[in-house]
Amino acid sequence: MMLIQFTVSHNLIKVKTTDLGSLYELVYQVTTRDDRKEKDFIDELRCRNGNLNITLIMNAQPAAY
């Protein structure tokens, strides 16, 4: 699983349906293993996600979700 490969910790914070229930929006809080591999992590997410939108918020506060 890519989350295990690229993160020290990961928590699913929120699940929400979008586009009249045809898509799911998942919000995770993650701590990456290595900042230099951040691009590789995002590229893996894009491949897995069918190139749909991915938003990365650096140093986000949990209340922002």
User: In this predicted structure, what is the pLDDT of residue 44?
Assistant: 92
User: In this predicted structure, what is the pLDDT of residue 64?
Assistant: 58
Distance CA 53, CA 27 (A): 12
Please answer whether residues 54 and 42 qualify as being in contact, where contact means their C-beta atoms are separated by less than 8 angstroms: yes
Q: Which domain holds residue 13?
A: 2-58
Residue 64, domain member (yes or no): no
Residue 9, domain member (yes or no): yes
Residue 16, domain member (yes or no): yes
Q: What is the pLDDT of residues 6-62, one digit of tens each?
A: 999 899 989 999 989 899 999 888 888 887 888 899 899 999 989 888 887 777 676
Give the total number of structural domains in the chain: 1
Distance CA 8, CA 34 (A): 9
Residue 63, domain member (yes or no): no
Residue 65, domain member (yes or no): no
Short-list 55, 46, 60, 59, CA closest to 18 = 55
Q: Judge residue 30's burial from the number of C-beta atoms within 10 Å of its C-beta, 0-12 exposed, 13-18 middle, 19 or more buried.
A: middle
User: In this predicted structure, what is the pLDDT of residue 52?
Assistant: 86
